[in-house]
Structure 1
Amino acid sequence: MKQLIIGFIETIWNQQRFEKIDDFLSNDFIDFSLPEALPTTKEGTLMWIENTGKSFKHHTDIDTLVAEGNMAIAKISFTATHIGEWRGIQAAGIKFTVTGYRTFRIENEKITAHWGHIDATSIHNQLTHTGAGCKIQQ
C-alpha cells in the first residue's frame, strides 16, 4: 500500500506522467478535496495537477507515511516556485515550502479516494509577504 502512495506522488505529481494515472487510481476514484468547479473524478484530479503546474514549478516530498487497514495518511512537504498567476497573485518567482496532509483509501491495489489539506494560507502569506493566523509546524 505504501509503495502505491509513494508511486502516485512521485509519478503523477512530481514527474507529471499523466498517462500512468490508471496505474494508481481506480475507475470509481473520488477526490474529496478538489475545488467545486472541478469534477471529483480522476479527470478532475488531473486537471487540478495540471493547473497547479501552471502556477507553480513544484515537488512533493513524503515526510511521514502511515498505513492501516485500507487507509493511509501522508504528511508532505510541498516545495514550489511561483511561476504563474495564483488566486490573483501575479508570478514573482518566490520559492516556498508548506506542509500538508493527504489521506488515501485503497481497495484492490488502487487508490479509490483522496482527502487533502495543504496550508494555502501559508502559501498566500509567503507570496504576499504577510503573516497572520496559525502556521502548521513541521
Structure 2
Amino acid sequence: MSINPYGDRLFAEFYTCNDPDVAARLAQERLADDFVDHSPVFGATPDKAGFTRSVSFINSAFRQDYHVERTIEQGDTVVAIWSANGEHVGQFMHVAPTGARFRLKGITAYALRDGRITAHWEQFDVLAILMALGIVPPLGG
C-alpha cells in the first residue's frame, strides 16, 4: 500500500507550478506543522516557514519542467529521482533574469505522516544552475 497520497505530484508540483504564491500555498497545505528540512537551500531556515519561502523563491527565479524518473517508498519515506529543465526568469543571487536554460538532476526524500510531509532531504546539481547563469565559469574554461 502506498503512503504517498499525491503520486509524482508530491515532488513535481512544488517546482513546476511556476507561480510563487501557488508554491507557498502547496507548502502550507502539505507540510506538517512540525516539518524539518534537513537540506535547506538559499539561506532558508530548516522549518515549514523556511521551506515555504524556498519553494516560493525558486518559482519566482526559475520556470521549471520537472520530471520524476523513479519513486521508491519504504516505511514512512518516499524518495524521488528526478530531472528538470529550467529557465532563469527572475532575480537569483544578484543576477537579473537572463533567460538562460539549464538541465539538472537530483534526489529528494520526504518522510510522511497522515498524508503530510514531516521531513525533507534533497541533493541536486546546483553547479548546473550556477554555470548556466555565469556565476561559476564552465569547468575547464
Q: TM-score range by the shorter chain?
A: 0.7 to 0.9
Once the two structures are superposed, the pairs formed by residues 34-49 of structure 1 within 5 Å of their partners are: 34-35=40-41, 37-49=43-55
Q: Given the alignment of the two structures, is residue 19 of structure 1 paired with residue 25 of structure 2, yes or no? A: yes
How many pairs does the alignment contain?
133
Give, in whole Å, the separation in 2 of the partners of 1:74 and 1:89.
Answer: 30
- Distance of 2:40 and 2:77 partners within structure 1: 19
Is 1:118 aligned to 2:114, yes or no? Answer: no
Alignment-mate amino acid for residue 63 of structure 1: E
Match of 2:139 among 123, 132, 137: 132
In structure 1, C-alpha distance between the alignment counterparts of 2:31 and 2:66, rounded to whole Å:
18
Question: Letter of the aligned partner of 2:8 in structure 1?
Answer: I
Structure 2 residue aligned with 1:62 = 68
State the SS of the aligned residue for 1:93.
Answer: coil
Q: Tell me the percent identity.
A: 19
How far residue 5 of structure 1 moved from its aligned partner, in angstroms, is 5.4
Change (3 A) 1:28 1:76: same
Q: For residue 11 of structure 2, what is the aligned residue in structure 1?
A: 9
Residue 114 of structure 1 and its aligned partner are, at CA, apart by 0.3
Gaps of 5+ in 1: 134-138
Counterpart contact for 2:35–2:118, Cα < 8 Å: yes
Q: 1:75 to 1:24 in 2, by over 3 A?
A: same
Q: Any idea what the Cα deviations from partners look like across 1:33-71, whole Å, max 9, x if unmatched?
A: 114732222221110011112221123221111111111
